[in-house]
A = this chain, B = another copy of it.
Amino acid sequence: MRASRPAVHPVEAPPPAPTVAAQAQAQEQGQGQGEGVAHPRGVRMKDPPGAPGTPAGLGLRLAQAFFAAAALAVMASTNDFPSVSAFSYLVAAAILQCLWSLSLAFIDIYALLVKRSLRNARAVCIFTIGDGVTGTLTLGAACASAGITVLIGNDLNICAENHCASFETATAMAFISWFALAPSCILNFWSMASR
């Protein structure tokens, strides 16, 4: 049926392999001459470093899980954290962050072992939403703990009767875990939006 219709617009021969940089350049210059018509959209882009299914992405996931586990361990090592809601919330958020990052690390390891790309539309969408939710929770828990820690240490000066060092360490670990999560989330969202 398609061959029987006349060509409305003559199309030039598609270029051999349009790279991401070349595409972006072409789009900026407004050249909508139909490059890439012959390629299905899902396979022509390479995974950027840090995306799921790459060694850098696996490293980011392991760093997130490690620092979340460190925050959890340091906070749980103090015996009076359940008396402050924000510290209990930090423990809960660190557990969630650790589980999420470890699950995605296992998926990354599997993808690396079988050499499969994880640029599936639905998978990237789930990763992005999960990253956004856990990232917001971890950042919120870290900020709440930081508020309490600064209140105890600087505003009230009652560090002598509290485990200030442990609270500060756990808060710092949670912040570092969030800083490791942010690139994953941004990269996932970017690859979800740019497909």
Contacts and interface: CB of A to CB of B under 8 A. Distances in A.
A150 interface: yes
A37 B11 CA distance: 8
Contacts of A85: 147, 150-151, 154-155
Interface residues of A, number: 53
B9 A37 contact: yes
Given A27-B195, A36-B32, A193-B194, A147 B86 contact: yes
B155 A83 contact: yes
Interface stretch (A53-61, A64-72, A107-115, A136-144): A136-144
Given A7-B7, A143-B147, A193-B189, A32 B39 contact: yes
